[in-house]
Structure 1
Amino acid sequence: MYPDTPTFEQQINEKMATETTNTKPKILNDLIRTHDTTEMKRGVDYYFNRSDIMKRQQYVWKDGVKVVDETKPNNKIPHGWHKLLVDQKVSYILGKSVTFTGPDAFLKKIAEVLTEDFNDDMIELGLGASNKGKEWLHPYINEDGEFDTIVIPAEECIPIYDTSKQKNLEAFIRYYPYIINGEEGKRAEWWTKDDVTYYVATAEGEFVLDTTEEPNPAPHFYYGDKGYGWGEVPFIKFANNQFEVSDLDFYKELIDDYDKRVSDNSNNLEELQSLIFVLKGYEGQSLSEFMDNLRHYKAITLDADPGSGVDTVSAELPIQSVNSHLDRLREEIFTFGQGVDVNTNKFGNAPSGIALKFLFSLLDLKADMLERKFRKGLEWVIWFVAEYLSIKGEGQFNYKEVKFTFNKNMLMNELEASQIAQNSSGIISERTILAHHPWVTNPEEEEKRKKEEREEKAKQVQDNYQFPEQGDGDDE
């Protein structure tokens, strides 16, 4: 959402401020009814190669009326440019797990609470934010009393902020479809800082209090037999950029033009497979008879007049112009999509580290915008982890003491990186060298292996050279 356009959240706050007589169910229904998710769904559609070209129809004018032409070739060829660019960014910034640094005791607890599933959540959040502009993470306590997280699709979410700063999350609406015993329905949840109220849609589509939930409103979670509220609304926003818009917004028209040109070219090739026949002195009665004779007998009869004959006409496609335009579109898609064109031949077969950094420069700029917003989200994740540990009685921790490092997954010249690592020995720590070596994926494990190798070599040396024990010599 751009700065000169009121955000949906601002419109919500205006509604709640002016319509103080409204009941919560009425406000809930109004907000859900006016929640526009078109832009979010469009980003998802393009990610799964369902671009606008798939909706194209061919038309013809008949008697002054525009009608669909079912006979005209209508090839629809989408190209997964958006998926390529999104996957590049997400793999680059989130392909490797985010590293946490801070007090050892707190880090140990975090590692126990945030399992490998959280790394998958980060990838899912990155994909969702890139496609929709933002995605939401819901921290909760499961039935076993364990901390867990789940990604909530942004199209199901309506955040409500305070009216002063537009930063503090005061309430949160989630609405979604469900199927029970083969029957479809819709549910909604109104979350505050202390509890959650459940609603269900009637046959008319209006949301009313769900009488099957006991109690309703309910606490955020139960730990043991006691219900708790987090003290904050348990939904964390992970934004794509400061405008909270999809990456697609910046290059959609380029993709549409590419799809259209390739599809049009395919249509033209299909149409040009048939020659146009110019008949002179044809003896037949109809054109269909001419085509039947040509198809079955490979021959036709003509008048004996000197001017009789058959000519063929075919059109030539401007292949060079089409290819030139497609090449330009490809270059602009990577430029304005801030991606890496892996087919480039500007840097040779083994580009240097500097050349690779230049190649990744646009992707790095785009990834930095996502990283900045994701840091805020991760701070809230650690806040909820600290609250969970406090409720369990496992200690009091300060979430602000934990810092995050995003380990970018950049291609590198392995020979050059290995030589730099070798030349750095004795200048910087072995741990740092291992962390930047192209073949090392886990510095801690590699450091442990090197230690084991040194101990094994020392043992072999000791076994090969048996030194006499004290007191074995002859006394004089």
Structure 2
Amino acid sequence: MAEYSVMDRINMIISDPDHATMTLAQIVTEEIREFKASEQYANMIQAEAYYRNRTDVQRKTNDVANRSNTRIEHPILKKLVDQKANYLLGKPFTVDTKNSSYGDALNDVFDQTFRRKIKSLGKGAVKSGIAWLQPYFDDGKLAFMRIPSAELVPIWRDAERTKLDAFIRFYDQVIYIGTRKHTITHAELWWTGGVKYFKTDAFAGTIAGDFIVDTEHGDEANDYTEPHFTVGNKAYNWDTVPIVWLKYNEEELPLCYFIKDLIDDINWQTSVTADVLRDVAKFIYVLKNYGGQDLGEFIKDLKEHMAIKVTTDGGVDKLQADLNIDAVMAFLDKQRRDVYDFAAAVDTKDPDLGNASGTAINFRYMDLSSDCDSLATELKDTFQRLKLFIDVYLQIAGKGDFSKETFDIVFNMDLPVNETDVIQNAVASESLLSKRTILQNHPWVTDADEEMERIDAEKKAAMEEYGEGLFGDALGAGKGQNGQGDPVNGGGADGNE
């Protein structure tokens, strides 16, 4: 029997639907079910829960009556994910291109909204292992939408997962039918030929979770297929699948995957310790040869008379938890250091960090810098995948054909530095590096091109001021004390003595 890839089957169905063994709706249904049953999907859901500070400590139980059952959680993953995103993308990135017109056009696209989306994309990659950004047109202008990682099924072309044939996006929608609330799931199949829409419908006689064609999109004449976008009543399809991605690592594993057990242990040990401290006043009494009738009488005598009856050799002992707080704190401190170590992050509460020298700070940030450098390399590839969509938009918008131009992205990582040392090094490099390179690495400069324009404007203003002063002095020197005639001959305005 012949073997076909997912995209092969999709193409076969599109080209010859009457002889296909499966419908597109069945393929979409199967792909979504398989994705939701995968380990990758489970990792994404788990990482999202841990980022929102809902961890496995919530499963902690205590079957003993009247005993505490504390569940203390620490937003550790959120701090680590945000630290990486802020370190790499907290400061505005710079667009570097030889074509100034292309640079201006790119900066118009890379507005504040786009830059926030890129920061969200970086955070999503660290949190979920892979993050997605979809270009689309909004009132004739190119825009971008972050697709949640757990709502997108990629159909890769190659085993290395570097080229995409198609993708399926699915999401839930709550609707009202009459007075009853229903949840239906929408699905979209995007490929180079357009986009098809599907949905679940409990009233269509299908099995729960199965998709049917959503006939509200497109029409029967075009087999309910819509174009990628429309501009000026003209339909267009991109040459490639309209989606770009950013991977946190080659394996597409989220940060939570590597440190989950450490986070669980910190939460568990903290919660158990809190239980002991809360129950420290709840003693266990050991009775020896008690002279009363029952335990109820013992409690009554203890409360009312502050005394109890015992026989000749009787007595009462008291048991309570013996908790070594110092040992617990030392263990939790070790676990905390391990979290930051294996997460390639920086513990900003380290008491020695504030007094560290510039070299020591660089050493402390080495793991974080290395991890973010890898993410930055992946993000540069993401920008190159975006280039196709941006260049097409610039052509449609009449801003020029820049398809043969190139650009690079310079990330300004937020590393704590000694600004005086950096500035002195920049000054010392003036004879070795271009002014633009120096400005890009200056701690006070966020946009090298804008700063160069300011410098040129100041130079021009200074030259104009200097020129006016120079010519003004020369003109004044050519006049007599009364401002008229030749000071040498003493002639008046009319040439008479």
TM-score (norm: length of structure 1): 0.85
C-alpha contact (below 8 Å) 2:29/2:211 kept by paired residues: yes
- Change in Cα spacing, 1:284 to 1:70, as seen in structure 2 (3 Å) is closer
* Structure 2 gaps, min length 5: 14-19, 203-207, 481-486, 490-497
CA distance in 2, matches of 1:22, 1:268: 60
Q: Deviations over 1:182-204 (max 9, x none)?
A: 64321111111121011111113
Q: Could you tell me which residue of structure 2 aligns to residue 186 of structure 1?
A: 185
CA distance in 1, matches of 2:211, 2:100: 48
What is the one-letter code of the residue matched to 1:327? D
- Give the fraction of aligned pairs with identical amino acids, expressed as a percent: 31
Pick aligned residue for 1:174 from 169, 173, 182: 169
C-alpha contact (below 8 Å) 2:94/2:447 kept by paired residues: no
CA distance in 2, matches of 1:447, 1:231: 38
Counting only pairs closer than 5 Å after superposition, residues 414-425 of structure 1 correspond to structure 2 as 414-421=419-426, 423=428
Q: Could you tell me which residue of structure 1 aligns to residue 78 of structure 2?
A: 83
Displacement of 1:441: 4.0
CA distance in 2, matches of 1:385, 1:418: 36
Displacement of 1:453: 6.7
* Structure 1 gaps, min length 5: 1-9, 60-68
Pick aligned residue for 2:272 from 264, 277, 284: 264
- Change in Cα spacing, 1:387 to 1:242, as seen in structure 2 (3 Å) is same
Q: Could you tell me which residue of structure 1 aligns to residue 117 of structure 2?
A: 121
SS in 1 for 2:393: helix
Pick aligned residue for 1:328 from 325, 331, 334: 334
SS in 1 for 2:173: strand
- Change in Cα spacing, 1:179 to 1:70, as seen in structure 2 (3 Å) is farther
Q: Could you tell me which residue of structure 2 aligns to residue 54 of structure 1?
A: 58
User: Which structure has the larger Rg over C-alpha atoms?
Assistant: 2
Displacement of 1:127: 1.5
Q: Please, what is the CA RMSD of the aligned residues? A: 3.1
What is the one-letter code of the residue matched to 2:108? E
Displacement of 1:430: 5.2
Displacement of 1:57: 2.3
Counting only pairs closer than 5 Å after superposition, residues 31-430 of structure 1 correspond to structure 2 as 31-36=31-36, 37-59=41-63, 69=64, 71-102=66-97, 103-142=99-138, 144-162=139-157, 166-181=161-176, 183-203=182-202, 204-215=208-219, 216-280=224-288, 282-295=290-303, 297=304, 299-303=306-310, 305-346=311-352, 349-398=354-403, 401-421=406-426, 423=428, 428=433
Displacement of 1:214: 2.9
CA distance in 2, matches of 1:14, 1:317: 65
CA distance in 2, matches of 1:137, 1:431: 31
- Change in Cα spacing, 1:298 to 1:265, as seen in structure 2 (3 Å) is farther
- Change in Cα spacing, 1:43 to 1:197, as seen in structure 2 (3 Å) is same
SS in 2 for 1:375: helix
Q: Could you tell me which residue of structure 2 aligns to residue 62 of structure 1?
A: none
Q: Could you tell me which residue of structure 2 aligns to residue 27 of structure 1?
A: 27
C-alpha contact (below 8 Å) 1:220/1:230 kept by paired residues: yes
TM-score (norm: length of structure 2): 0.82
Using the TM superposition, name which of 424-433 and 380-389 deviates more: 424-433
Number of aligned residue pairs: 454
C-alpha contact (below 8 Å) 2:288/2:316 kept by paired residues: yes
- Change in Cα spacing, 1:431 to 1:161, as seen in structure 2 (3 Å) is closer
Q: Could you tell me which residue of structure 1 aligns to residue 488 of structure 2?
A: 475
What is the one-letter code of the residue matched to 1:28? V
What is the one-letter code of the residue matched to 1:122? I
- Change in Cα spacing, 1:17 to 1:220, as seen in structure 2 (3 Å) is closer
